[in-house]
Amino acid sequence: MSDPLEELERQVELGNLFAHSAMTEQAARVNEAAAVVNGLVGLLIQRGVVDADELLAVVDSVRTKTEKAGQSASLGVRVRTDAEVPPNSGVDIDCEARLPLCRGACCSFHFPLTIDEIEDGPIKWDLGRPYYNRHNADGYCHKIDGETHGCTIYDDRPSVCRLYSCVEDGRIWKDFEARVPNTEWLDDHFARAERGPVEIFMEAYESA
């Protein structure tokens, strides 16, 4: 007999996946329409004559600027799409030796999951922030060992984890080579670690 709580979570996941997929499609259409309108307005102001090639260029430019400025319409829902990743890709870093300094901050980052990861992957997504990786109460990914901060699914971790490198990440290191961490950012980051509704609910359920 299946656990009623697990079945409820599965049903919520399926319902949200359908609803958010449809809403994301509509948001994409709104963004495209806004890019066309803004591009057309910009071109008319500049030249007073509409040319197809110039219109496309302006629309593309406006779209890019809008995305970079974080002004694109969004529901806060995102699904990741990966290119094919070579099996030996990634950067080798002495993570175990650096953990006391960096606190394993990269394992506290939020990132969207792919469709395959949502349906079959070892990482669960946060029902309060579809479709991002779920976090524990301490702010780390729920697949992290709470004592060692080691990844419990290291061999099956998502490509976004395999390809990430903290070498030039100024949030974590002031000087990577000298092993000088950005303690100010790290302190603030972990002080603001947020739990989603699933983490809070599961914690209350398990302690009941």
Parent domain of 49: 4-68
151 and 63 within one domain: no
Tally of domains within the chain: 2
Q: What's phi and psi for 141, nearest 5 deg?
A: -50, 140
Q: Are 194 and 185 in contact (CB under 8 A)?
A: no
Tell me 151's DSSP state.
B
CA–CA gap between residue 208 and residue 205 (Å, rounded): 5
- Residue type, position 96, single letter: E
Same domain flag for 129 and 45: no
Say if 79 falls within a structural domain: no
Question: Helices marked H in 4-141 — which ranges?
Answer: 4-47, 52-68, 95-102, 115-120
127, pLDDT greater than 80: no
The answer to whether 98 and 153 are in contact (CB under 8 A) is: no
This prediction has a pTM of 0.57
Same domain, 30 and 105: no
Q: Are residues 56 and 110 in the same domain?
A: no
Pairing of strands 180-181, 173-175: antiparallel
The pLDDT, as a whole number, for residue 121 is 84
Q: What is the pLDDT of residue 180?
A: 97
pLDDT tens, 8-30?
777 777 777 877 787 788 888 88
Q: Kindly state whether residues 100 and 178 are assigned to the same domain.
A: yes
Report if residue 63 sits inside a domain.
Answer: yes
pLDDT tens digit string along 150-199? 899 988 999 899 889 999 999 999 999 999 999 999 999 988 765 555 55
In a domain, 82, yes or no: no
Asked if residue 144 and residue 63 are part of one domain, the reply reads no
Q: Is the model's pLDDT at 88 over the cut of 60? A: no
Listed range (11-20, 90-99, 118-127, 190-199) with the worst mean pLDDT? 190-199
Q: Which amino acid is at 175?
A: D
What is the rounded distance in angstroms from the CA atom of residue 69 to the CA atom of residue 34? Answer: 14
User: Would you state the pLDDT for residue 199?
Assistant: 56
Q: Could you say which of 68, 87, 104 is where a domain stops?
A: 68
In a domain, 154, yes or no: yes
pLDDT in tens, 59-69: 889 888 888 77
Q: What is the mean pLDDT of residues 99-120?
A: 91
206 falls in which pLDDT band (50, 70, 90)?
A: low
Q: Is residue 123 part of a domain?
A: yes
